[in-house]
Amino acid sequence: MTSANAAPKPTQIRVTRRSPAYWRVTIDHPPLNVMIPEMIGQFQDVITALEADEQVRVVVFDSAVDGYFLNHSDFTGNLSDLTSMPPGPTGLPPWPDFFVRLTRAPVASIALIRGRATGNGSELTLACDMSFASREKAILSQWEVGVGLVPGGGPMARLPRLIGRNRALEVLLSGDDFRADQAEAYGYVNRALPDAELDAFVDALATRIAGFDKWAITTLKRLVDASLPPDVEIGANWDAFISSVSRPGAQARVQALMARGFQTPGDFENRLGYHLGQSAPQTKP
C-alpha cells in the first residue's frame, strides 16, 4: 500500500491546457529524452484524454529537454516490459496503438521539433498531422538499421506515402541524420523555420485552428485519412521490431555502441548518424 505521504511517481509526459481547445504535450525525460516503457502508458493516457474531451481541437507536442525532441528507446531495460503490455483499443500493442489513434484523433496534432527526433521521435513526427522544425537545431533520424534493427512505430508504412519510396528507403537504409532543411525539401516535415521564429509560428497556427469549429476539423481529417496506411501495416512494423531486438547480432551491435558512448550524454548521441557510419563493418574490395 502506498503511503499518503509518499512522493508521486515522476512523469515524463506533461499536459498543459493553454485553453480548453488548445493543449500542449511536453516530453521531459532528461538528459536525452530516451523513451522508457513507462512513457508509453503516459502517451496512452494523453490520447485517451484527447479522444474523450469535446472541447480540444488542437494539440502540440514539444520538448523541455535541450537538444532532444524524443529519442530512441532505452536499451538498458527489459524487452518484456514492452511485450507484456496489453494491447490498446485498436488491438495493436500500446505504442503503435497510440500512433494510429493520434493520427485518427478528432483533433489536429502538431509536432514542434527542436533537437533530435531519433527513432521514436521521428515516428511521433510521422504520426502527427503536421510538423515544424527548427532550422538550426532539429535533426530527424530512423537510425535503427545501424544496429541491425527494424523500426517499430510505423515509418515503413508512413514514409513512402509521405515522401516517396526512394526517399523513404534513403532515410531508412542510411540510418543517417537529416537536418531540418533536407527534411523540409523531402517533405519529411511541413516546414523548417528559423529557431527564433519556431515557437511563435506554431503557437499562432495552433491558436488559429483552436478557434475553428470542431465538427469541421474532425470531418476534414476523416476524409483526408482515407490516404493513411491500414492498421495492419503499422502492426507489422512493430512485430518486425520486436523480432529484430532479440537477434544476437543486434544485441552485439547495441552493446558495442554502448561502449563508445551510446545512451550517454555527449558527442556520440549528439551525432548518432555520423557515429553509426563509423561503426559499420567495412568490407574488403
DSSP letters, 20-86, are TTEEEEEE--TTTT-B-HHHHHHHHHHHHHHHH-SS--EEEEEESSTTEEE--B-TTS-THHHHTSP
Q: Nearest to residue 126, comparing CAs of 88, 150, 157, 149?
A: 157
In this model, does residue 1 exceed pLDDT 60? no
Instruction: Say what the pLDDT of residue 285 is.
Output: 38
What is the layout of strands, in order, in the sheet containing 58-63? 13-19, 22-27, 58-63, 108-113, 130-134, 191-193
Residue 132, helix vs strand vs coil: strand
Q: What angle do CA 139, 59, 63 make, to 5 degrees?
A: 35
Q: What is the pLDDT of residues 178-203, one digit of tens each?
A: 999 999 999 999 999 999 999 999 99
What count of Cα atoms within 13 Å lies in the side-chain half-sphere of residue 210? 20
The Cα 224–Cα 222 span in angstroms is 6
pTM: 0.94
* Residues 203-221: tens digit of each pLDDT: 999 999 999 999 999 999 9
Residue 159: pLDDT band (50, 70, 90) is very high
Report the SS3 class of residue 119: coil
Is residue 99 within 8 A of residue 153, CB to CB? The reply is yes
Per-residue pLDDT tens for 106-158?
999 999 999 999 999 999 999 999 999 999 999 999 999 999 999 999 999 99
pLDDT band at 82 (very low <50, low <70, confident <90, very high): confident
Instruction: Quote the distance between the C-alpha of residue 8 and its chain's center.
Output: 26
Task: Note the CATH number of domain 13-279.
Answer: 3.90.226.10
Q: How many residues does the chain have?
A: 285
Per-residue pLDDT band for 279 (boundaries 50, 70, 90) equals: confident
pLDDT per residue over 8-60, tens digit each?
677 999 999 999 999 999 999 999 999 999 999 999 999 999 999 999 999 99
Name every residue whose Cβ is closer than 8 Å to that of residue 280 and which is 6 or more positions away in sequence. Answer: 146
CA distance 144 to 175: 6
Contacts of 30 (CB under 8 A, 6+ apart): 64, 65
Q: Where are the domains of the chain?
A: 13-279
